[in-house]
Amino acid sequence: MTIKRPSLKAEVRKILGRKVKRLRKDGYLPASVYGKGFESVSIKFLQTDVEKLFSDIGTAGLFDLKLGDENIPVLFKNPQYHPVSDILIHIDLHKVDLSQKIVAEIPVVLIGESEAVKLGAVLVPISDSIEVEALPADLPEKMEIDISGLKEIGDVLTVSDLPTTDSKVEIKTSKDQAIVKVEEAKKEVIEAVEEAVKGEPTETEGEEGEKKEGEEEVEEEKEEKKD
């Protein structure tokens, strides 16, 4: 049974450069489509639609871009975020050839619970993604690794510990690359956490926080005036 790919409708956009800010105000996200043997196109689509799909499939999920009468197989690439609000402000779409293998970056997700952490140790992530090669339709959206085997300080999980049951996917990252390890909790960190739990935010801290928010609004207003 063939799994139907998700799709996203877009329109060709004529507004370019700094003027795309107008599009964002109207709820649209600017984007660009490119690929081998494909003439790059500037597009726009609804911000909410993009954010939902990107949240679901990330940069490894294949989907169809509906542009006019065309259905173009693409992958999300190079998401850009606002430095203050952290809102998605631009993203690229890479058109792929479904018959050609590609190398893509796949997120690694930790699952399970580590006994070492329960006993007070600290889990230290080293790599949160790996490179794999596969046909676009065979790319996994993520790869999971079970941390329940991490029981002592010094225990490490590497790329070689990832499940490799799918013969259609070849892992390109070195098998010796560490993904996560267990370390002893530093005394300074423990004391800092204890102090944070004991302490309460002061009025001064609150006022400073409010001032920063106000300053951000002023900066945004300045940008508006410049435009």
- Give the C-alpha separation, 60 to 143, whole Å: 11
Residue 139: partners with Cβ closer than 8 Å, 6 or more residues away: 60, 61, 62, 75, 102, 104, 106, 132, 169
Amino acid in the structure at residue 201: P
Token code pair at residue 83: 């430095």
Q: How many CB atoms lie within 10 A of CB 181?
A: 19
Tell me, rounded to whole angstroms, the distance of Cα 119 from its chain centroid: 31
The residues, ordered by sequence, that sit 6+ positions from 3 with a Cβ below 8 Å of its Cβ are none
Structure tokens at 162: 């990832």
Question: How do the pLDDT tens digits run along the chain, 227 residues long?
Answer: 456 889 999 999 987 877 788 888 899 999 999 998 888 999 999 999 999 999 999 988 999 999 999 999 999 999 999 999 999 999 999 999 999 999 999 999 999 999 999 889 999 999 999 999 999 999 998 999 999 999 999 999 999 999 877 789 999 999 999 999 999 987 644 455 456 555 555 443 444 444 333 333 334 444 544 44
